[in-house]
Amino acid sequence: MMTPKNSVLSPPKAVSRTELLEHEMHALSRISQIICHSQTIEQTFSEVLAVLHEIAGMQHGLISIIDPEHNVVQVSAIYSGESEKVKIGNVKYRSGEGIIGRVLSHGNPIVLGRISSEPNFLDRLALYDYELPFVGVPIENNEGTTIGVLAAQPETPADDLLSERTRFMETVAHILSQTVRLVLNVELGEQIATERDELRREVRGKFGFENMVIGHTTSMRRVFDQARRVAKWDSTVLVLGESGTGKELISSAIHYNSPRAKQAYVRLNCAALPETLLESELFGHEKGAFTGAVKQRKGRFEQADGGTLFLDEIGEISPMFQAKLLRILQEGEFERVGGTQTIKVDIRVVAATNRNLEAEVEKGKFREDLYYRLNVMTIGIPPLRERRADIPELAEFLLTKLSERQKRTLSLTNSAVRMLMNYSWPGNVRELENCLERASIMSEDGAVDSDAISMTGLNYEITSSPAQIELPPTDLSDENLDEREKVIAALEQAGWVQAKAARLLGMTPRQIAYRIQTLNINVRKL
């Protein structure tokens, strides 16, 4: 049976200082063995508190560990004898709350000669004898920050040995602090490893070729097939394509599907920095190499050692810097700005540009030797206007991404798809994505139709020659189509000739003109 608080029993026999010291030495020896052999931190806490209770005369021991997110300590373990099982529940103490919270807040031991003399004692566990002392000491990390509290009640009334018991508790807390720190570090390491593996799986899923093949045109299938093949090797890759075609996406896919996938993937836009900063950014610099160089800094080449370096807009660098870049591509070595030590790196380079480098070489604006060093494997990404058959599938893919971001269901009507396919898309996929985002914002019910597309300004840039792609005509008898969509589909099939559209719908010209007006349909001018 658990002893009720304030009960009157025969007090345990007092011990001498020598006897107390022997008990404490025995307890410390046993605690050391426990820490060396316990498998879990819960088992360690439980067995240490059992030793305090049964050998050292410190009963009802508890250990509380801090929850840094909420700045509270939660009771993690307690021991009151084998026959007295105490339910901990969700017992917590905030900083400064009760005796445990005060130890947490100021990090100093608190010793009560008699619990009944302290009105702030909370006793949420309903364990303690109010006529006996109470000792609470902090558990600290190496920096001296309190990470927990160890507390227990001596089995005898306060005497001149209470200070000895307090020092003993501080020693035990110090031993526990090392255990807690090691366990927390191990758990943190496991958590980081788990998060790293999850992130790798997420990245591999995002940049996996099976998830990137949007569209079925021959030109894009060729691009993905080339990228898949070259990913297995360390050859330098030159990705060519207009702005917005997805050159960086191809580069990422090559890295994350290569043997270097677990190493660094470092990116640099060569057009974003002036030449003076570009050299420092790529090669790094030594302390004092120039004004503001207050410490040594590694460049992108060193950061990418063992992995992949993506150099975007490679066609924008000056001829002088091209010579410096050529050396590292040939020899795999360089010196930091202001340094003399030669540094060797093992990297794979993927470069990209929207320029015609062959033409630039002929004009003398790009070094021929650098061009051939980069042009080991070339992947040319076609512009969107040359693969318009991919637009419906690509638009659905981009709209699905927008649906996730906006947390609502978005859909494309057939008339909207036809409008998208008849545009030249000078900004390619990036422009298409921006257009769909603007249109989705204009659509209150989530159905992106031709009017929503028109409101983005796209209607005024429709190409005079429509895309030479045969689209299946909309089934005008489809019951799932609302009246507005049916009228728009008929007008599209009739080349926006109202009389012809009326015949397709079995209406008179006056009826279709009335519906165009009441349904607020913008009539295209061809």
pLDDT of residue 210: 54
Whole-angstrom CA distances from 113 to 41, 129, 374, 379 are 31, 12, 80, 81
Look up the CATH architecture of domain 473-526. Orthogonal Bundle (1.10)
Distance separating alpha carbons of residues 357 and 264, to the nearest angstrom: 28
Equal fold, 17-186 vs 384-471: no
Look up the CATH architecture of domain 17-186. 2-Layer Sandwich (3.30)
pTM for the model stands at: 0.56
List, for the chain, all residue ranges whose pLDDT scores fall below the cut of 70.
1-14, 38-39, 68-76, 82-91, 181-215, 459-481, 523-526
Paired with 416 in beta bridges are none
Paired with 61 in beta bridges are 79
pLDDT of residue 237: 94
Question: CA triplet 274, 280, 284: central angle to 5 degrees?
Answer: 160
Paired with 151 in beta bridges are 62, 136
The domain segmentation of the chain, as residue ranges, is 17-186, 209-382, 384-471, 473-526
Q: Please name the residues in contact with 331: beta carbons below 8 A apart, sequence gap of 6 or more.
A: none
Neighbours of 341 (CB within 10 A): 7
pLDDT of residue 314: 93
Name the one residue in this structure whose structure tokens are 């070259």.
Answer: 230
For residues 72 and 95, the answer to whether their CB atoms sit within 8 Å is: yes
Nearest of 499, 504, 453 to residue 477 by alpha carbon: 504
How would DSSP label each residue in 129-158? -TTS-EEEEEEE-TTS-EEEEEEEEESS--
CATH superfamily of 209-382: P-loop containing nucleotide triphosphate hydrolases (3.40.50.300)
- Residue range 384-471 forms a domain whose CATH class is mainly alpha
Distance separating alpha carbons of residues 353 and 484, to the nearest angstrom: 45
Region class of 490: left (phi > 0), else alpha (psi between -120 and 50), else beta:
alpha
pLDDT of residue 435: 92
